[in-house]
Amino acid sequence: MLKAKKPVSPGLNIIIVGCGKVGTTLIEQLVNEGHDITIIDRDAQKVQEIANHYDIMGLAGNGASHNIQIEAGIKEADLIIAVTSSDELNLLCCIVAKQVGDCAAIARVRTPDYSSEAGYLREKLGLAMIINPELEASKEAARILCLPTALEVNSFAHGQAELVKFKIPQDNILAGMTIAHLGGNIAPDILICAIERDGEVHIPSGSFQMESGDVISFVATRKFVRHFLKEIGFKTHQVRNTMIIGGGKAAYYLSRQLLQMGISVKIIEIDRNRCEELSILLPKAIIINGDGTDQELLKEEGIECVESFIALTGIDEENILLTLHARQVSQAKVITKINRITFKDVINHLDLGSVVYPRYITSEAIIAYVRAKKNSMDSNIETLYHMFDHRVEAIEFRIFEDSKVTNTPLMHLPLKKNLLVSFICRNGSILIPSGQDCIQVGDSVMIVTTHTGFKDILDILQ
C-alpha cells in the first residue's frame, strides 16, 4: 500500500519501521523538521491513516524484508529507524538495511538481556544508536529520587551539569526577587534558564521578578544544584525507600539503579510468574504479589509512610489514579510514567509531581542524532531536551571549528531573542557565562531557547 511521495525535501531521507507510540511521535517531529519520511508497518490500515495524515509515503509489510526495504527506497535512504515492538525484528531490520543500503541505522532494544550488550551489538552490527526507552526513563526517575524536591532533573556535559525544574512554593524567599538580585547576591553559580507562569514560558532577563507558583528551570554543576536548593529552603537528601507499582522492564531497570544507590525497594506486581522472576533478578528488593490498585493492599504495605511512590503499570489511567491516591494519603515524592500523550492539557492540570514520558525520551535522543547528522562541520549536537511541552529546547553543542560565534564576547554577539547561553563546558569545568566570556573551539555549549529546530551553533545568531 503506497502513497505518492512529496517532492524531495532538503532534509534527510528517513525510513521508520513501526508505527506504534514511539514511531508516531518520531514521524510527527521529523516531518515538522522537514525530513522526507517513509513508514513501514504490518498494519495496512494504520499505515494508510498515518501516511494520509502526514502526507508521507507508506508501505504495509515486514520491515525486515529485503524486498520491502528496496521498495521503500533503502538504497537512497540516509537513516533507518526500527521501533517495532520486537527487539529481534528491530535488530534484523537494521542488519538487512546495512547490507542493502549505505545508511545509518538506529534500533530500539528494550530487553535487559540485550541492553547489557548494547555496546557490543552496536559495534558489531555497525549501528549508529541502540535506544532503550524503559532504561532511559528509569535513569530519569533515579535522578529525580536523588533530588526529590525537583520536578525534573536532566543531565548535560556527561553528567557534570544538571538542568533542574522546580516550583516556587508559597512564602519562599525567591517570591518577589529578580533574577539579577538572585545572581548577584545569593547564587552566582546557577543560571535561571526558563520560567513558566500561567501557562506562558519566559526566557528571563535580569529584571524578571519571580513569584510563588512559578515553575523554574535552572542549570548548575551537580555540586551547586544541591547547595542552591538548600539555600532557598528545599530538602536535598535522596529518598531512603520507594514503592513501585508494576513489575515490568522499567520497574526492573529502576529498581536495579535504586538498590545500587542504597534506596530500599518494594515492588507490587499482579502477575505471580513475573514476581518469581523479579525475586531472582532483584534479590535485595521486596516483591509483593498483589493488585497495586487495591487501596487496602497499598495501606497494608505502608503507602502512608513511604518516602517515594512510582506508578509504572502499563496503563496510563491507572498510573495517574495511583499517583493522585498516593498524594492524598502520604507525603511521598511521586513519579508517574505516561506512555500516551492524549489529554495532555488535563494531565498538566493534575498535580502528578514528576511525569516521565518514555516515548519522548526516545524521540529526543533520535532527533538529536538526526539534527547532528544534517548539520555543518563547525559544531555538533551532543544532547537535546524538550522542556515545557516542547515549547522550549535545551541543546548542548560541541564546538569543533572557529566560526562567527567563537572568540567574541557573548555581549557582542547578535544573539536571537528568547535565547540564553546557559553554560560553557571547557576542559571538564562548567562555566556559567557572563557577557565577557567567549565560546572557544573544544567547548561544549548549552543553549536554552523558545526557537525550535536548531541544528548548528550558528543558529543562535540573528
How is 147-213 classified by DSSP, letter by letter?
STT-SEEEEEGGGTEEEEEEEPPTT-TTTT-BHHHIIIII-TT-EEEEEEETTEEE---TTPBP-TT
Helix, strand, or coil (residue 11)? coil
Helix, strand, or coil (residue 379)? strand
| Strand ranges (E), 271-321 | 286-289, 308-311
CA distances to 252, 274, 379 from 290, rounded to whole Å, are: 17, 11, 52
User: 369-460 architecture in CATH?
Assistant: 2-Layer Sandwich (3.30)
pLDDT on residue 340: 77
pTM of the model: 0.86
Q: Starting from the edge strand earliest in sequence, which strands make up the sheet with 200-202, in order?
A: 152-156, 161-167, 215-221, 191-197, 200-202
Contact 397, 376 (CB under 8 A): no
- What is the distance between the alpha carbons of residues 444 and 423, in angstroms, rounded to a whole number? 8
Q: Which H helix or E strand runs over 152?
A: strand 152-156
Q: The C-alpha cell of 298 is what?
A: 497499598
- Is the Cα dihedral 209, 211, 214, 220 positive or negative? positive
Right CATH number for 241-356 from 1.10.10.1110, 1.10.10.10, 3.40.50.10680, 3.40.50.720?
A: 3.40.50.720
CATH 3.30.70.1450 in the chain: give the residue spans: 369-460
Identify which of 411, 397, 410 has the alpha carbon closest to the alpha carbon of residue 441: 397
CATH 3.40.50.720 in the chain: give the residue spans: 13-131, 241-356
Q: What angle (nearest 5°) sits at the alpha carbon of residue 242, between those of residues 237 and 243?
A: 160
Contact 159, 175 (CB under 8 A): no
CA distances to 169, 174, 181, 334 from 233, rounded to whole Å, are: 10, 10, 17, 20
Task: List Cβ neighbours of 248 (8 Å cut-off, separation of 6 or more).
Answer: 134, 312, 313, 314
- What is the distance between the alpha carbons of residues 167 and 181, in angstroms, rounded to a whole number? 19
Q: Which H helix or E strand runs over 228?
A: helix 222-231
pLDDT on residue 264: 97
Contact 220, 190 (CB under 8 A): yes
pLDDT on residue 378: 63
Rg, C-alpha atoms of the chain:
23
Helix 133-146 with 358-374: angle, nearest 10 deg: 110
Identify which of 343, 357, 360 has the alpha carbon closest to the alpha carbon of residue 25: 360
Residue with cell 513558566: 196
Q: The C-alpha cell of 188 is what?
A: 552566582
pLDDT on residue 1: 46
Domain 13-131, CATH: 3.40.50.720
- What is the distance between the alpha carbons of residues 145 and 225, in angstroms, rounded to a whole number? 14
- What is the distance between the alpha carbons of residues 322 and 319, in angstroms, rounded to a whole number? 5
- What is the distance between the alpha carbons of residues 335 and 279, in angstroms, rounded to a whole number? 23
Contact 54, 5 (CB under 8 A): no
Helix, strand, or coil (residue 377)? coil
Note down pLDDT in tens along the chain; length 462 residues: 444 444 444 689 999 999 998 899 899 999 988 899 999 999 999 999 999 999 999 999 999 999 999 999 999 999 999 999 999 999 999 999 999 888 999 999 999 888 888 889 899 999 999 999 899 899 999 999 999 989 999 888 888 899 999 999 998 999 999 999 999 888 889 999 999 998 899 999 999 999 999 999 999 998 899 999 998 998 888 899 999 999 999 999 999 999 999 999 999 999 999 999 999 999 999 999 999 999 999 999 999 999 999 999 999 999 999 999 999 999 999 999 998 766 777 777 788 889 998 888 888 888 888 888 776 556 688 888 888 888 999 999 999 999 999 999 999 999 999 999 999 999 989 999 989 999 999 999 999 999 988 888 999 998
Q: The C-alpha cell of 3 is what?
A: 502513497
- What is the distance between the alpha carbons of residues 440 and 424, in angstroms, rounded to a whole number? 9
- What is the distance between the alpha carbons of residues 456 and 292, in angstroms, rounded to a whole number? 47
Query: Any bridge partners for residue 310, and if so which?
Result: 244, 335
Q: Which H helix or E strand runs over 335?
A: strand 333-337
